[in-house]
Amino acid sequence: MSITNISVIVVYFAIVLYIGGRTAKFVKTAEDYMVAGRNLGFMAFMILIVGSVMSGMTVLGSSGLSYIAGWPSMWEPIFVCFSVAVLMVVFGTKIHRVCAKFGYNTVQDYLARRFESPKIVRGLAGVAGMVISFIYLVGQFRAITIVLSWYFKIPDIYALLISSIVITVYVLLGGLYAVAYTTLVQGLALIIGAIVLMPVVIQKAGGLTYINTRLAQIDPNMVSLAYPQVHPPVEGYAFLTPLYLVSFFFLLTFGLATAPHALNNVLSAKKASYYKWAPFWAFLIYIVSFTFIKIGGLAARAMAIDGLFTVPHPDYAIVAAIEHSFPESLWVLFAIIVLAAVMSTTDRLMLTIGSIFSWDIYRNLLHPEADDAKVRKISRLTVLLSGIFAFFLAIKPPALLAWLIWMGIGLMLSTYCAPLLAGLYWKRATREGGIAGMVVGLVVAIIAGYIAQFVRPLPVHFSILGFIASSLALIIVSLLTPPPSKETLEDCEVGFSF
C-alpha cells in the first residue's frame, strides 16, 4: 500500500477530528451537547437520521448476508428503509413537538412525563437504552476493525485501537453537533460511493444475469425471493420463511425506528416543517444506496465462485470485491466510504449512552441538584468509558456482524416499541402498563433469544415474541389500573393527531 493512500485515510481522520474541534465552540449547555441546541438544518438533520440507521450492518453485515443467502435476503433493505420513514412519521413528529415545548433532552424525558413516572419508567427506559445501545456499539466497532485491518494489513487489535480513539475524541469534543456534521460528510460520501462504485463491482462480476447464473449453480433458492423450495437450502437463509419474514419486518422497521440512538435525533431538528419532506427523501436515499450494497454482496459471491479472490469471512465480502474491482488508488476511497457508514452510527451510539446516563440516570435520578456543567462532564466521561469497554468487547469478532446487530435491534423492539406506540396514541395506557410492557418485553426477549441461540431455532425472530408479550402486558395492566390524568394526555398530545 502506497504512502499516498495511507495519507488519504489519515487526512479523513483529521477532517472528522477537525469538525469535532470546530463544533466544540457551539457546546455551551447540556442541550447543545445532547441535541445540538435543537438547531440542525434540514440537510444535516435528514442525513443524521439516515446515517444513524445506515450502520456497519448496512455495508458489511448486509452485503455479507446477501453473500451467503442470495436474493432471499433482499427483503432486508426494503424493511430497513421503511424504518427511517416510520421513525419520523409515526414517532418523530409528535415527540419533537412535545420535547421542544418542555425542553426535554431525551426520549426518556417524554416517557417519564407521558407515563407519570419520573423515576421508574425513566430508569427502566434509560438502563435498557444504554444496554441495548452498547450491544449495538460493539457491532459497529467490529465493522470498523474489519475495514482498517483489511486495508492496512495490520492486526485487528491495532485497527480497533485507531478507530476507537478517533471516534471517541471527536464525540467528546462536539457532542451531537460533531456527530451531525461529521455524519453529513460521512453520509454523503457513503451515498455517492454506493451509487457510483457498486455498479462497477456488478459489471466486474459479469453483470446481473451472469451473477444469477453462478448463484443458481450453488442453489436455485439463492436467485428467488420466495420461500426456499429446494432442500436442503444453502447455509444461511433457511430461516427466511414467510412467517419469519413477518417478524423480520417488525424487527427492522419498528425495532430500528425505536432505537434510542436513532429516535433521539428527532429532538435536534430546527423546524417542525422538516418532517413534511425529510421522511420521503430519507427513504429514497436509503433504499437506493442499500439496494446497490446488497447486490454488491451478490456480485462478491459470484466473483468468489470464479476464484477471483478468497473471502475469509462473509463480512469481508464487499471489501474483497471492491479491492478486486478497483486499482489501489480508488480502493482507498471505498475504505473511507465504509468507515463513513460505520462511524456515522458508532458516534451516535456513544453519545446516546453518554446522554442517557448523564441526563436520565445521573441528573434526574441520582443527583437532581447537579448543574449543567456537571451533566456535560458526566456525559463526556460516560462516552469515554463506553468507548473503552466497547473496544475490549469488540476484540473477539462475532460469527456474523448482521446477527449481532439484529440482536440489539431485537431488544429495542421488545422493550421500547409497544410503550412508545401506546404512549403516543392510546389514551388509556397507564404508568403501570408502561412499566409492565417494558419489563415483560425485555424478559421474554432474553428468554426467547437464549432458546433460539442455544436450544433450538424458532420459526420467528425472537424479538417478535418479546414485542407481543410487551403489548399484551401493557394492554392488560393498563385496563386494570386507573387512567392517566387529563393534563398529562393534553401535555403529551396523546391520540391520532400529527
User: Do residues 166 and 14 make contact, with C-beta atoms less than 8 angstroms apart?
Assistant: no
C-alpha dist (Å) from residue 218 to 78, 83, 301: 25, 32, 10
Residue 490 has pLDDT above 90, yes or no: yes
**Ordered DSSP codes for 306-348:** TTS---SSGGGHHHHHHHHHS-HHHHHHHHHHHHHHHHHHHHH
Residue 229 has pLDDT above 60, yes or no: no
* Portion of the chain with pLDDT greater than 90, in percent: 24
Confidence of residue 206 (pLDDT cuts 50, 70, 90): very high
pLDDT, residue 316, reads 82
Residue 40 pairs in a beta bridge with 269
pLDDT digits (tens, 9 = 90+) for 121-176: 888 888 888 887 887 777 777 777 777 777 777 787 888 888 778 778 877 776 77
Q: What average pLDDT does range 39-48 have in this prediction?
A: 86
Residue 200 has pLDDT above 70, yes or no: yes
Phi-psi region for residue 61, left (φ > 0), alpha (ψ -120 to 50) or beta? alpha
Q: What average pLDDT does range 360-377 have in this prediction?
A: 88
CA 16 to chain centre: 20
Of 398 and 180, which is predicted with more confidence?
180
pLDDT, residue 231, reads 46
Q: What average pLDDT does range 302-318 have in this prediction?
A: 88
pLDDT, residue 350, reads 82
pLDDT digits (tens, 9 = 90+) for 61-102: 788 888 988 888 887 778 888 888 899 999 989 999 999 999
Tell me, what DSSP letter sits at residue 399?
S
* Span of 5-14, 39-48, 216-225 with lowest mean pLDDT: 5-14
Q: What average pLDDT does range 180-190 have in this prediction?
A: 75
| 278: amino acid identity, one letter | A
Of 291 and 229, which is predicted with more confidence?
291
**Grid cell 436509503 — which residue?**
286
Q: What's the grid cell of residue 486?
A: 387529563
Residue 21 has pLDDT above 70, yes or no: yes
Contacts of 121 (CB under 8 A, 6+ apart): 108, 111, 112, 115, 431, 434, 435, 438
| For the ranges 192-196, 361-365, 408-412, 476-480, the one whose mean pLDDT is highest | 476-480
Confidence of residue 497 (pLDDT cuts 50, 70, 90): low
pLDDT, residue 327, reads 82
* Span of 38-42, 147-151, 162-166, 404-408 with lowest mean pLDDT: 404-408
pTM of the model as a whole: 0.82
pLDDT, residue 134, reads 81
Cα 64 to Cα 402: distance, rounded to the nearest angstrom: 8
C-alpha dist (Å) from residue 368 to 99, 106, 123, 129, 388: 19, 16, 14, 20, 27
Q: How does the average pLDDT of the chain come out, rounded? A: 83
pLDDT, residue 494, reads 94
Q: What's the grid cell of residue 455?
A: 436450544
Residue 27 has pLDDT above 70, yes or no: yes
Domain architecture of the chain: domains with CATH = 3-401 (1.20.1730.10)
Q: What average pLDDT does range 221-230 have in this prediction?
A: 67
* Portion of the chain with pLDDT greater than 70, in percent: 91
Residue 269: strand, helix, or coil: strand
